[in-house]
Chains A and B, each alone.
Chain A
Amino acid sequence: MAEETLEKRRGFLVGSIAAMMGTISAALGLPALGYLLVPGREKKKSDWIEAADLSKLMVNQPEQIIFNRVRRDGWKVVTEKAAAWVVKTGESQVVAFSPVCTHLGCAVSWNSGDKTFACPCHTSSFSPDGKVVAGPAPRPLDRFDVRVDGIKVLLGDVKKSAEG
């Protein structure tokens, strides 16, 4: 009998220790997970940047444009150089590709010989409309949001292209 109460008391003590330690771990662990995994509060949206002059672009002739963009990088506001491959596709229609290969992130450049964007790393190549022609790249080149205002070509955020 005495043995049984002793056993019960022991069970209660061990159970309480586990419950209290569990509560503390959750109270520390869950906020820690949120802190590390949930993206920051601020919505990242870039301003439109005047990147090119429509009248100087030739139809279907990709042009590399280097421009400065202001970006919030964590707690810093950085001004950095960014690049885009801009292709005039019609009288006032322009598409702009991110120069980042969708395979592993090397910079693609325009090969005027066979009219493709070629990646120097794993020989992926993309057609002038961004589609994958050859190589391991899993999806077409990403595109910038583009707005044409008179003769000004404005670039916005880069939108990830769909698989395929």
Chain B
Amino acid sequence: MINSVLDWVEDRTGAVSGVKHFLYEDIPASSGWHQVLGSVAMFCFLVQIVTGILLALNYAPTPPDAHASLRFILTELTSGRLIRGLHHWGASMMIVVVGMHLLQTFLWGAYKKPREATWMLGVILLLLTLGFGLTGYLLPWDNRAYWGTVVTTQITAKAPIAGPYILRLMGSEDGNIGVQTFARFYGAHVLLLPPLMMLLVGLHVFLVRKHGVAPAPVETEPKKKFFPGQVFKDTVAIFIMFSILFALATMVRVPLGKIADPTDTTYIPRPEWYFLFLFQLLKFFEGPLEIIGSMVLPGVAVGLLFATPFIDRGAAIKLRQRTFAIGIVLFAAIGWGSLTTAAMRSTPHKEPYQSFTAEEVAAVGSFRQGQCWQCHGVTPGDMKAGPNLADIAVHEERDALVAHFQKNAGNRGLKDLQFRQLATFMRKLDDESVVAIASTPINVVSGAQMYMKNNCGVCHSINSAGGKSGPPLNGVAKRRDRTWLEGHFGDPQKFSPGSMMPAYKFERADMDSMLAYMETLKD
């Protein structure tokens, strides 16, 4: 039965012998584990296609709905987090695998005649992969996405002559990013790049088949078949890659940040890790020289990569004898590694609560005092009687929430005002702020509660919330030291003559938490 169906298919389409022809290709006896990376890269691309289509089925590709729909995917849909995690980590995974594939081909000298065109197509595929990363970065439309892309467009804007045109092409008038840029990036990400990539991957594979898998300099044994020996090795490598990807997607949560806010000047933009070295490189070139870091050096690097098969025309030799190639790889690795490390070191770390208003930090205190954690987990996978706050969005109206708090935590010494503030906080809960519930230090929380209790916010502001008659407290930790602050609380006029601030005589413990809170206000 099966045979007769296969015979029919073979007779009418030739598909069976086509597949056989593909599987029973002759490959050199030396082929083995070092040549699995091309297949792994292709499989990564396949995973990106599948997860990308799934995301697109529940995604509104325009701001600000883009953010809301991704949030819907993450908080409302079954496996939404997993699929987004696979797509996010899959992108990084693909960069790593494509990079390794390039490295292997380079080290083994597999770009040599007659495989020059295969290599150059490969370089284009690497650039397309980076293009996917660049355009996809904007699509969550959170602060990270927005500000990261602002930096990218500003860099391109500085290109000589072409700058304004590239900017125009990106749908940006003067370096600003709006719906038009978003549409261009989305269009490129889902309509332009995927078919281009498929076409070029097809050509790349065609060329590999045309010239055959690159042999070792000396082949002594007769050729072998691609299937099943090499296919098995490819599959094992794919399986290992996919296992790591799946583990990353389930265990390392990719937060969706606050919706893109062009007025948020405190956000520190950083590109994705694989672009960090370029970001760091720019710091060495200032003013008119900036173009060297942003255009010239990357341009030269890509050019050299393209020209590699024409620069090195020597006969194929064993890997161990390719000392110059190994030297270049080591040099590039050290350069890339140190630039990336330097960039990561210089990235200031900001705890989520540091962008909170005092009311919000105090709400964390109410959550803890109300022992809400008895029923609600706040870290992924923490199963408790009530919904885990790390997995859901809170849709309930404020009054319904307050009623819920009064019913379940009414006897824990919290006032109605605190319940209302907690309700406001909960309705805005997102991936970033849920972390704060678990991680904000105790004395900082008590400090914020003291701040609220003493109505400091009537005159002072923290993160743009509060009164204007006193100085804003952001950056107070940089302006004043602990001794000054403590003395100032007790006798403001002694430290800043003419101040209208009344003196506050705190108990020792309260003073300590107040100072601890003030010391977190660094910028």
Contacts and interface: CB of A to CB of B under 8 A. Distances in A.
Interface string A64-105: 000000001011100000000000000000000000000000
Interface residues of A, number: 24
B239 interface: yes
B228 A31 contact: no
Given A21-B235, A36-B57, A28 B76 contact: no
Contacts, number: 71
A115 interface: no
B503 interface: no
B79 A34 contact: yes
Interface in B43-91: 47, 50-51, 54, 57-58, 60, 65, 68-69, 71-72, 75-80, 82-83, 86
Contact of A76 (B65, B82, B231): B65
Q: Interface majority SS on A: helix, strand, loop or mixed?
A: helix
B78 A38 contact: yes
Contacts of A162: none
B71 A75 contact: yes
A8 to B, nearest CB: 12
Contact of A35 (B60, B65, B83): B83
Nearest to A32: B54
A47 to B, nearest CB: 9
A17 B235 contact: yes
Given A28-B47, A74-B72, A20 B57 contact: no
A91 to B, nearest CB: 33
A77 B68 CA distance: 10
A41 B75 contact: yes
A42 interface: yes
B392 to A, nearest CB: 7
A75 B54 contact: no
A35 B78 contact: yes
A31 B83 contact: yes
A36 B51 CA distance: 12
Nearest to A77: B395
Contact of B50 (A32, A36, A76): A32
Given A36-B54, A42-B395, A74-B72, A27 B242 contact: yes
A13 B65 contact: no
Given A35-B79, A72-B395, A24 B57 contact: no
Interface string A14-40: 101100110110011001101110101
A14 B228 contact: yes
Given A13-B231, A32-B54, A72-B395, 12 more contacts: A16-B232, A17-B232, A20-B235, A35-B58, A35-B78, A35-B83, A36-B57, A42-B76, A75-B65, A75-B71, A76-B65, A76-B68
Across the A-B interface, the 6 shortest Cβ-Cβ residue pairs: A75-B72, A31-B79, A34-B78, A13-B228, A40-B76, A38-B78
